[in-house]
């Protein structure tokens, strides 16, 4: 089904959203590597999550079979996405919800802004959501005079700190507790000036502020981890219970969901609700799993809107070698095992999707030319593939995307010359002899001279042997 796509497969538009950074990955990574506090925070957090996750995964004898099942379900979803989305729309509508289709970030932001305006509210509470970060919904709401309040603790820290998330699951992973205390003292309304950096004290301050906001806000915006085509049920998994407050207390609930999140049947959840908590937070079971189907009179929000977001996903779907990036369940296991992410942190990737999955998803959503450095933000060690609960082969996809990146003319000429030499044994033998000159031109650790110096700026020059294999063989 290589031709499956939902319409003209357009990439995410420029000038809106958070899928493109201001710097290339090497430039931003260079700045991040100079921040030793950031590296300490990241090492501590990723090592802790990795250890916890590894222990609970080892308890399951059928973990590999679960990964196979998760991968197979997602591949099935991608092969018949239009049909499943239409079934979802029908079920949600039957259950009293309203479905909106958003081709891109601009459309999604306009739809949500209009829906909030129609309620008369000037404030919304938000459940942690990557999709709304992707389209920069908070910025669009603020421009329309509507105040969005993040209710996930880490997202709240990021919002109050006027910062950007740096991890899918732990958006404030780059902050330690004394930095969080300073942010609360500076930006949290009504905070006690005697606040300490003791974690329970910080959590209590956030709880006090958020409880007041929950009880006085009538509109909530959420994302969704899953949507069941068979029943029209939406699901959010979270750890704090703040999400459940948003999903149950307000009069109006607006959910923005990427089109790839749909699952065919209720039974499919059995697989993902085992995979996700163990791979992400290292828990056996997710602490708060909230499911809802349309509206129920007298119980929960009485107005429910589902915004189905494309924003480049059809373009990803149209590439058979890249589409499995849409299988991602945002567990962040690939970030936690990645040696590159652990040293640079998430901001270096420029997009809201950092780490190995960001390196393959962001360039596909935006078009490779707009995120050309990301497919190189990897050592191709393969740790992400081993860790991924839905078996996304990120390393192969990175290589596939590197081939699509526009390469400079000098590099293309050098590669064409190398291919010609390797195709002709005599030329190859001569080139090997000439390569001995490189022992003089550039020694190990010193790099090649210009114009070839760029090649050795980020890698060691291999030491050429004194004698080639052919010469050695000829002697014998």
Residues contributing to the site for ligand SF4 (CB under 6 A): 328-334, 357, 387-390, 392
Q: Between residues 95 and 381, which has the closer beta carbon with respect to ligand SF4?
A: 381
Cα–Cα distance measured from residue 161 to residue 201, given in angstroms and rounded to the nearest whole number: 18
Q: Between residues 154 and 333, which has the closer beta carbon with respect to ligand SF4?
A: 333
**Measured from the CB of residue 117, what is the shortest distance to ligand SF4 in angstroms?**
34
**Measured from the CB of residue 458, what is the shortest distance to ligand SF4 in angstroms?**
25
Cα–Cα distance measured from residue 293 to residue 309, given in angstroms and rounded to the nearest whole number: 19
The encoded tokens of residue 262 equal 């749909």
Which neighbouring-strand residues pair with 303?
252
Q: Which of 322, 352, 342, 344 is nearest to 384 (CA)?
A: 342
Q: For the purposes of burial, counting CB atoms within 10 Å of the CB of 193, is it exposed (0-12), middle (13-18) or buried (19 or more)? A: exposed
**Measured from the CB of residue 71, what is the shortest distance to ligand SF4 in angstroms?**
10
The helix (H) or strand (E) run that includes residue 221 is: strand 219-222
**Measured from the CB of residue 385, what is the shortest distance to ligand SF4 in angstroms?**
9
Q: Between residues 253 and 398, which has the closer beta carbon with respect to ligand SF4?
A: 398
Q: Which of 118, 111, 171 is nearest to 137 (CA)?
A: 111
Contact 344, 293 (CB under 8 A): no
In Å, how far are 91, 101, 247 from 86, measured between CA atoms?
9, 11, 24
**Measured from the CB of residue 14, what is the shortest distance to ligand SF4 in angstroms?**
25
- CB count within 10 Å of CB 320 equals 12
The number of helix segments (H) and strand segments (E) in the chain equals 22, 10
Q: Between residues 292 and 349, which has the closer beta carbon with respect to ligand SF4?
A: 349
Q: Between residues 89 and 152, which has the closer beta carbon with respect to ligand SF4?
A: 152
**Measured from the CB of residue 5, what is the shortest distance to ligand SF4 in angstroms?**
21
Q: Between residues 217 and 239, which has the closer beta carbon with respect to ligand SF4?
A: 239
Q: Between residues 141 and 352, which has the closer beta carbon with respect to ligand SF4?
A: 352
Q: Which of 150, 105, 112 is nearest to 128 (CA)?
A: 150
Cα–Cα distance measured from residue 184 to residue 190, given in angstroms and rounded to the nearest whole number: 10
**Measured from the CB of residue 206, what is the shortest distance to ligand SF4 in angstroms?**
26
């Amino acid at each position: 089904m290589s031709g499956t796509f939902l319409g003209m497969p357009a990439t995410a538009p420029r000038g809106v959203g958070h899928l493109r950074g201001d710097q290339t990955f090497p430039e931003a990574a260079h700045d991040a590597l100079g921040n030793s506090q950031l590296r300490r925070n990241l090492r501590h957090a990723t090592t802790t999550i990795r250890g916890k996750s590894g222990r609970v995964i080892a308890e399951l004898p059928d973990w590999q079979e679960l990964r196979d099942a998760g991968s197979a379900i997602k591949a099935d979803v991608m092969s018949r996405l239009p049909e499943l989305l239409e079934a979802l729309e029908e079920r949600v509508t039957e259950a009293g919800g309203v479905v909106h289709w958003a081709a891109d970030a601009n459309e999604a932001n306009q739809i949500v802004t209009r829906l909030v305006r129609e309620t008369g509210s000037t404030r919304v509470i938000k459940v942690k959501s990557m999709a709304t970060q992707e389209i920069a919904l908070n910025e669009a709401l603020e421009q329309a005079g509507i105040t969005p309040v993040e209710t996930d603790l880490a997202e709240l820290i990021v919002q109050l700190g006027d910062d950007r998330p740096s991890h899918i699951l732990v958006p404030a992973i780059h902050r330690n507790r004394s930095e969080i205390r300073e942010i609360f003292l500076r930006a949290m309304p009504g905070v006690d000036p005697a606040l300490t950096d003791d974690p329970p004290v910080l959590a209590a301050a956030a709880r006090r502020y958020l409880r007041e906001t929950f009880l006085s806000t009538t509109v909530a915006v959420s994302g969704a981890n899953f949507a069941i085509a068979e029943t029209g049920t939406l699901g959010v998994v979270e750890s704090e219970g703040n999400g459940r407050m948003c999903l149950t207390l307000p009069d109006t609930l607006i959910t923005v969901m990427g089109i790839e999140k749909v699952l065919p049947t209720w039974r499919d959840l059995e697989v993902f609700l085992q995979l996700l908590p163990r791979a992400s937070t290292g828990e056996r079971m997710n602490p708060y799993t909230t499911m809802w189907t349309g509206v129920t009179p007298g119980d929960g929000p009485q107005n429910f809107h589902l915004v189905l977001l494309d924003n480049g996903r059809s373009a990803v779907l149209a590439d058979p070698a890249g589409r499995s990036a849409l299988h991602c369940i945002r567990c962040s296991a690939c970030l936690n095992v990645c040696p590159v992410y652990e040293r640079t942190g998430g901001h270096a990737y420029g997009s809201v999707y950092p780490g190995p999955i960001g390196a393959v998803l962001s360039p596909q959503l935006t078009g490779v030319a707009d995120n050309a450095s990301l497919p190189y933000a990897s050592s191709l060690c393969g740790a992400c593939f081993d860790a991924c609960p839905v078996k996304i082969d990120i390393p192969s996809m990175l290589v596939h995307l590197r081939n699509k990146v526009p390469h400079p003319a000098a590099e293309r000429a050098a590669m064409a010359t190398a291919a010609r030499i390797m195709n002709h044994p005599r030329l190859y033998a001569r080139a090997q002899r000439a390569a001995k000159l490189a022992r003089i031109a550039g020694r190990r650790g010193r790099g090649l001279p210009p114009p070839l110096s760029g090649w050795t700026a980020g890698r060691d020059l291999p030491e050429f042997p004194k004698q080639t294999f052919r010469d050695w063989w000829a002697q014998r």
